[in-house]
Amino acid sequence: MKRPLLFLLVGCLALNGCMDLKIDMNLNPDWSGTAVIQMEMLDQLFQMVKGQAGETGADLYFLDQATLRAKLEEDGGTLRKFSNTAEEGKRKLYLEFTFRDARTLAKKSGRGQLSFMQEGDVWRMSIMDNETAGTFQVMGQEELEQQISLMQSMMSGMKWHFQLKVPQVTETNLQRKGNQVLYQVDFNNDIANKRGKPAAEAYRNLMAVKWLRLKGMKK
């Protein structure tokens, strides 16, 4: 069975470094919203991950403008802007789109990277809520330091910037400003340049589930 690759590619590249990823989302009370995704990486790395994804049967629909537009329109969304270019050895991907229901988007493209769960009148939104994330939370410091050493060459240069605006935030483990949450990491500065316990804790936080509880959403 083919698997959607929108969030899968993000997950794969997150473990291969040399990537600058920015995600900016706005979520409305009726679950509709907008999203802007920007990725920049070495084109050689992009081609490698693309080839690996093809071998596993992943669906590369979002790399093709016409196919992505059709997929979004199936669920009432629209593709506003699309760009997938390679210049001087660098691959740049830019997507700007609307969606009618974030829960549908998560089910079709999230694959464990993005999920929603209702808890009474509150909804919990989770990012990276999967078995892999849980594994790193129970590792000891020595194991985490070994992981950092193994992954350092692959994750060097990785930068994430995730920003989300929702109707009402009640709780979150992300940086919060009003009804907007933010998560950002620079692997070199935040993890690779640290040693011992600070490095281990920073790496554990990188791999931890990111979550928020939100209210004001229609059922």
Mean residue pLDDT of the chain comes to 81
Which range, 100-104, 159-163, 204-208, has the best average confidence (pLDDT)? 100-104
Q: Residue range 139-144: average pLDDT?
A: 76
HSE-up (13 A, CA, CB side) for residue 209: 18
**Res 14: pLDDT:** 47
**Res 95: pLDDT:** 95
**Res 163: pLDDT:** 95
Better pLDDT: 173 or 130: 173
| Partners of 54 in the β-ladder | none
Measured CA to CA, the distance from residue 144 to residue 146 in angstroms comes to 5
**Res 59: pLDDT:** 63
pTM for the model stands at 0.79
Sign of CA dihedral 197, 203, 204, 206: positive
- In which element (H, E) is residue 152 found? helix 141-155
> Is residue 196 a contact partner of residue 189, using CB atoms and an 8 Å limit?
no
Q: Which residue has the tokens 């600058």?
A: 20
Q: Which of 44-48, 68-72, 168-172 has the lowest mean pLDDT?
A: 44-48
**Res 206: pLDDT:** 78
What confidence tier does 158 reach under pLDDT thresholds 50, 70, 90? confident
